[in-house]
């Protein structure tokens, strides 16, 4: 091969190789696209239990079965006969109260004689009273929802009603039969007024407020009578009895009316009662010991004022929301950080 031919061949090879080298250089200089990280990311899997099943938290919750049944006053009926959780105590209360009322009214009228006619009258009164109490209460609870507060506080209100009626009638007459019937009728009125006015869905705080009023009516009535008695105006035993029987009814009625406007919590009511009893008892004891006896009005006046002041203080100046400040801000709709629940 001549030298000219070799140079021509070399030039042809170079001409053909330059474009390939340029493309290789361009490909090496181009940026490399990063891999898709989403395809490389792994999702954590729920751990398996010893039985090889998913834990309860990882299993999708099934829809709760829809409650089906008879609805009474917006609540699911408790049973076929009992309407609510307080129905049993409501029926037992009225049945026992009717039986006791029939027994004592007939027993007092016959002087609790052991003669056959007297025993027959007491037996008939007991059975008739129990039957009427059971029938009326069973009928009422069948058509009206009865919650537990209604069943429990109805018992206390019947006691307060019976005491009030007995004390009031005792001021008018000393007839034992009239007193027995007045106590029975008053107890029935106290129970049925609670059922009809307060309703079967009686709130716990309203029931506690009325019961608290009855207790404080008795306490403050006794303190006021002691102040009058040791101030020089002697009070007879009959006046003491009648006044102390009537006082709980007045206190319970007053706070029942107050419950229509005020809405204290059960904790606030219980706290006020404990503070009032504690402060009043301590003041009465200390003042009686310091002043040399309890046959003077000063200890009773101080006890009255001390207990009333303690009740007012813890009722108006105790903010329950401040006891758990970390939980108040979650879902709280109050416009102010502090607000008294009494208004």
- In this predicted model, what pLDDT tens digit does every residue of 272-288 receive, in sequence order? 999 999 999 999 999 99
234 to 222, 240, 303: CA distances (angstroms): 14, 10, 20
**pLDDT at residue 43, rounded to an integer:** 59
Higher pLDDT, 209 or 63: 209
Residue 39 has pLDDT above 70, yes or no: no
Q: How far apart are CA 47 and CA 118, in angstroms?
A: 80
Neighbouring CB atoms inside 10 A of 25's CB total 9
Q: What backbone phi and psi angles, to 5 degrees, belong to 234? A: -70, 135
**What is the mean predicted confidence (pLDDT) over 74-97?**
86
Report angle CA 212, 215, 221 to the nearest 5 degrees.
130
For the ranges 12-21, 36-45, 174-183, 258-267, the lowest mean pLDDT is seen at 12-21
**pLDDT at residue 201, rounded to an integer:** 87
Q: Which residues contact 4 (CB under 8 A, 6 or more apart)?
A: none
**pLDDT at residue 240, rounded to an integer:** 94
Q: What is the mean pLDDT of the chain?
A: 81
**What is the mean predicted confidence (pLDDT) over 134-158?**
92
Neighbouring CB atoms inside 10 A of 248's CB total 25
Residue 119 has pLDDT above 70, yes or no: yes
Residue 310: closest CA among 284, 273, 340, 341: 273
**What is the mean predicted confidence (pLDDT) over 311-335?**
62
Q: How far apart are CA 312 and CA 159, in angstroms?
A: 27
Neighbouring CB atoms inside 10 A of 13's CB total 10
For the ranges 30-44, 79-93, 226-240, 328-342, the lowest mean pLDDT is seen at 328-342
Residue 47 has pLDDT above 90, yes or no: no
**What is the mean predicted confidence (pLDDT) over 37-64?**
54
* Number of Cα atoms under 13 Å in the Cβ half of residue 166: 21
Q: How far apart are CA 273 and CA 254, in angstroms?
A: 16
Q: How far apart are CA 19 and CA 22, in angstroms?
A: 5
Q: Kindly state the tokens that stand for 173.
A: 């007459």
**What is the mean predicted confidence (pLDDT) over 141-150?**
89
Helices 148-170, 237-258: inter-axial angle, 10-degree rounding: 140
Residue 59 has pLDDT above 70, yes or no: no
**3-class state of residue 251 by DSSP:** helix
Model-level pTM? 0.72
**pLDDT at residue 316, rounded to an integer:** 83
Q: How far apart are CA 232 and CA 266, in angstroms?
A: 41
When pLDDT is cut at 50, 70 and 90, the band that residue 296 belongs to is: very high
For the ranges 52-66, 123-137, 175-189, 317-331, the lowest mean pLDDT is seen at 52-66
When pLDDT is cut at 50, 70 and 90, the band that residue 263 belongs to is: confident
Q: Kindly state the tokens that stand for 81.
A: 């006969």
**Residue 154 CB burial class (10 angstroms; 0-12, 13-18, ≥19):** buried
**What is the mean predicted confidence (pLDDT) over 253-261?**
91
When pLDDT is cut at 50, 70 and 90, the band that residue 329 belongs to is: very low
């Amino acid at each position: 091969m001549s030298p000219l031919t070799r140079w021509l061949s070399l030039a042809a090879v170079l001409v053909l190789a330059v474009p390939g080298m340029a493309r290789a250089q361009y490909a090496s200089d181009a940026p490399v696209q990063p891999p898709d990280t989403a395809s490389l990311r792994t999702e954590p899997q729920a751990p398996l239990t010893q039985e090889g099943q998913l834990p309860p938290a990882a299993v999708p919750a099934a829809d709760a079965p829809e409650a089906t049944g008879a609805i009474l006053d917006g609540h699911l009926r408790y049973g076929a006969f009992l309407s609510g959780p307080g129905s049993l105590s409501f029926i037992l209360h009225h049945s026992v109260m009717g039986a006791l009322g029939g027994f004592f009214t007939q027993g007092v009228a016959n002087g609790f004689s052991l003669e056959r006619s007297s025993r027959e009258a007491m037996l008939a009164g007991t059975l008739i009273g129990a039957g009427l109490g059971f029938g009326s209460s069973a009928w009422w609870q069948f058509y009206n929802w009865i919650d537990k507060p209604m069943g429990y506080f109805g018992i206390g209100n019947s006691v307060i009603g019976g005491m009030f009626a007995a004390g009031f009638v005792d001021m008018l007459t000393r007839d034992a039969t009239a007193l027995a019937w007045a106590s029975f009728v008053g107890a029935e009125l106290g129970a049925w007024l609670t059922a009809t006015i307060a309703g079967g869905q009686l709130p716990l705080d309203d029931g506690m407020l009325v019961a608290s009023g009855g207790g404080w009516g008795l306490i403050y009535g006794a303190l006021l009578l002691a102040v009058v008695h040791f101030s020089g105006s002697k009070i007879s035993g009959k006046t003491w009895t009648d006044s102390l029987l009537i006082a709980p009814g007045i206190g319970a009625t007053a706070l029942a009316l107050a419950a229509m406007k005020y809405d204290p919590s059960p904790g606030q009511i219980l706290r006020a009662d404990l503070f009032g009893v504690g402060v009043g008892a301590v003041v009465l004891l200390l003042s009686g010991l310091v002043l040399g006896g309890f046959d003077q009005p000063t200890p009773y006046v101080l006890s009255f004022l001390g207990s009333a002041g303690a009740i007012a203080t813890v009722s108006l100046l105790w903010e329950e929301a401040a006891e758990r400040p970390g939980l108040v801000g979650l879902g709280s709709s109050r416009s102010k950080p502090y607000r008294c629940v009494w208004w």
